[in-house]
């Protein structure tokens, strides 16, 4: 199948993830909302991003902070109403920002009318909207599939005597994507939002919609019985039958026909750490972009970084969604050593991601170089932490955005915020905008550089370098990262001018590129 034309606005764009609960509180409840988002959009335009991705704001009981959807076309009162969302979309238009919303198609909330009907009438049409199985011979779950959030991926409905499948919380029953009626429902949902002015969707768990028709057991790695964190337990299995089934592409081909009518984008949360397998979800007429998550688990050394970047750049090219942080993982500053060291490394990696073909996404606070926050056990709210003894959870990367000096660092006027703010005055947007050497100002300059690369070829070359360095070239620009704690010199051949660097000022030229410890630079041939 030949590759279809993609939205021109997507090419080389920079996206920004808004974790709506923690971005900005405009109503004084202690929880971020659409009014707060509307009032802070100027920051994103000033920073230079192109796409605003908003996490779920739909009607929800909030068992998983909105990823348990009870109504895919309704706004939860916690965040505002549909008119507030319309104002956000309108303001984004004024600021030349594209709007991407988070659709959660793998599962619904237990409170969704479809599931309520499925429970009430096992013989009714909505029963087949979900995945039901009879118990195993011993009366237990039908197979060995487990939940991302701990425990079996099956819960017994005592009334009917059958189990329903849920790869996440029991409150998040999985939909049956082999049912044509489910597919028609979501075509209607996509059309609803595209008609309302949304430019694209981020598809949650895009690699898991279809399950094995026979519901076979997954193989398990040996010697993993003592794992505690549910995410570690989940990864102790080979997910041969509950994830990445080949029929998934058929769904996205149907959605692509809808999206193409609106010049809209399909962006997949594709937790697939194998490039050929990820490529199958994209193909020529599948998803426009698939996230590449290996950057969140790689070691900080040149070999690991080079391998992590090169394989998807060569195998998928401009259809990669580059990320180094999200609302689901510890922040890169923490992963890369914490404090100033972590900030230098995170910024250096960001330079490399911005230089590659594809779409780069920042997670809110990444532009500030935020570290993980300290969230006391008694204040944690993530179900991974609250339902699993010994699990840390994701709260450390979800704390409120620090905007300016004052109560709650400008996030909210409430006495208490849903999670502690967890940052310092020096971390705030206001403080960093005043400091020309701040992480925020460096990121803004990097985005300016990124926009200057639009129109470059997608061809990436990987020259030989000293073993401490990672480097690639696109057209006449070379991007290079020193992944060590010592300065390194490199003579790539020819004359070069430094146009961006993460330590010191750009501008010097000559045949030698000098890099400080953990520094990245961009050099232009001349």
Q: Which domains, ranges and CATH numbers included, belong to the chain?
A: 8-106+180-450 (3.20.20.80), 113-165 (3.90.400.10), 458-525 (2.60.40.1180)
25 vs 42: CA distance, rounded Å:
15
146 vs 42: CA distance, rounded Å:
43
If one counts every other C-beta atom within 10 angstroms of the C-beta of residue 389, the result is: 8
Catalytic residues: 204, 269
Listed in order, strand segments (DSSP E) in 261-325 are 265-268, 289-292, 320-322
In three-state secondary structure terms, 51 is strand
Burial of 134 (0-12, 13-18, 19+ CB in 10 A): exposed
173 vs 105: CA distance, rounded Å:
11
b/e code 300-330 from CB counts within 10 Å (16+ = b): bebeebbebbbebbebbbbbbbbbbbbbbbe
Task: Write down the H helix ranges in 339-382.
Answer: 339-355
Bridge partner residues of 501 (DSSP): 521
Residues 6+ apart with CB under 8 A from 123: none
95 vs 491: CA distance, rounded Å:
42
Per DSSP bridges, beta strands 265-268 and 200-203 are parallel
Q: What is the pLDDT of residue 2?
A: 53
If one counts every other C-beta atom within 10 angstroms of the C-beta of residue 95, the result is: 14
Instruction: Print pLDDT tens along the chain (526 aa).
Output: 455 678 999 999 999 999 999 999 999 999 999 999 999 999 999 999 999 999 999 999 999 999 999 999 999 999 999 999 999 999 999 999 999 999 999 999 999 999 999 999 999 999 999 999 999 999 999 999 999 998 999 999 999 999 999 999 999 999 999 999 999 999 999 999 999 999 999 999 999 999 999 999 999 988 766 777 888 889 899 999 999 998 999 999 999 999 999 999 999 999 999 999 999 999 788 999 999 999 999 999 999 999 999 999 999 999 999 999 999 999 999 999 999 999 999 999 999 999 999 999 999 999 999 999 999 999 999 999 999 988 889 999 999 999 999 999 999 999 999 999 999 999 999 999 999 999 999 999 999 999 998 888 899 999 999 999 999 999 999 999 999 999 999 999 999 999 999 998 888 999 999 999 999 999 999 8
Among residues 106, 105, 132, the alpha carbon closest in space to that of 118 is found at 132
Give me the numbers of helices (H) and strands (E) for the chain, helices first please: 14, 20
Identify whether the C-beta of residue 44 lies closer than 8 Å to the C-beta of residue 53: no
pTM: 0.96
- How far, CA to CA in Å, does 248 sit from each of 120, 302, 316? 29, 35, 18
Q: What is the pLDDT of residue 229?
A: 83
Tokens, residue 60: 């929800």
Give kind and range of the element (H or E) at residue 72.
Answer: strand 71-75
367 vs 350: CA distance, rounded Å:
10
Q: Cα 42 to chain center, whole Å?
A: 22
């Amino acid at each position: 199948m030949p590759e279809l034309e993609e939205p021109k606005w997507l090419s080389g764009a920079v996206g920004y993830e808004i974790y709506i609960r923690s971005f900005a509180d405009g109503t004084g409840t202690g929880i971020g909302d659409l009014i707060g988002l509307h009032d802070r959009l100027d920051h994103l335009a000033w920073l230079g991003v192109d796409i605003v991705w908003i996490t779920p704001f739909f009607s929800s009981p909030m068992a998983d902070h909105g990823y348990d959807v009870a109504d895919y076309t309704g706004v939860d009162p916690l965040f505002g109403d549909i008119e507030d969302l319309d104002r956000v979309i309108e303001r984004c238009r004024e600021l030349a920002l594209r709007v991407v919303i988070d659709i959660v198609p793998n599962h619904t909330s237990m409170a969704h009318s479809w599931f309520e009907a499925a429970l009430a009438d096992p013989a009714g049409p909505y029963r087949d909207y979900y995945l039901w199985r009879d118990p195993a011979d011993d009366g237990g779950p039908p197979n060995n599939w487990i939940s991302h959030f701990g425990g079996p991926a099956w819960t017994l409905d005592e009334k009917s005597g059958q189990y329903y499948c849920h790869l996440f919380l029991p409150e998040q029953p999985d939909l049956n994507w082999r049912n044509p009626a489910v597919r028609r429902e979501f075509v209607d949902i996509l059309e609803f939002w595209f008609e309302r002015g949304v430019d694209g969707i981020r598809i949650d768990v895009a690699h898991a919609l279809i399950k094995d028709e026979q519901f076979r057991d997954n193989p398990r790695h040996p010697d993993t019985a003592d794992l505690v964190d549910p995410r570690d337990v989940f990864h102790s299995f080979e997910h041969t039958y509950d994830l990445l089934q080949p029929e998934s592409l058929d769904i996205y081909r149907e959605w692509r026909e809808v999206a193409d009518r609106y010049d809209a984008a399909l962006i997949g949360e594709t937790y697939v750490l194998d490039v050929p397998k990820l490529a199958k979800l994209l193909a020529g007429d599948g998803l426009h972009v698939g996230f590449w998550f290996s950057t969140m688990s790689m070691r900080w050394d040149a070999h690991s970084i080079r391998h992590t970047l090169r394989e998807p750049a060569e195998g998928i090219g401009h259809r990669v969604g580059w990320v180094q942080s999200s609302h689901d993982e510890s922040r890169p500053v923490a992963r890369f050593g914490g404090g100033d060291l972590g900030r230098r490394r995170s910024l250096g990696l960001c330079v490399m991601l911005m230089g590659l073909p594809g779409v780069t996404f920042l997670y809110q606070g990444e532009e500030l170089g935020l570290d993980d926050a300290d969230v006391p056990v008694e204040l944690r709210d993530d179900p991974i932490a609250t339902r699993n003894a010994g699990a840390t959870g994701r709260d450390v990367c979800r704390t409120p955005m620090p905007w300016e000096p004052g109560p709650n660092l400008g996030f909210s006027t409430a006495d208490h915020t849903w999670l502690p703010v967890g940052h310092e005055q020096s971390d705030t947007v206001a403080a960093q905008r005043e400091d020309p050497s701040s992480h925020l100002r460096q990121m803004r300059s990097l985005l300016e550089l990124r926009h200057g690369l639009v129109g470059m070829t997608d061809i990436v070359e990987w020259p030989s370098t000293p073993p401490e360095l990672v480097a690639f070239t696109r057209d006449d620009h070379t991007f290079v990262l020193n992944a060590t704690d010592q300065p390194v010199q490199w003579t790539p051949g020819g004359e070069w001018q430094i146009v961006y660097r993460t330590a010191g000022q750009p501008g010097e030229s000559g045949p030698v590129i000098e890099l400080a410890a953990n520094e990245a630079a961009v050099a232009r041939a001349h």
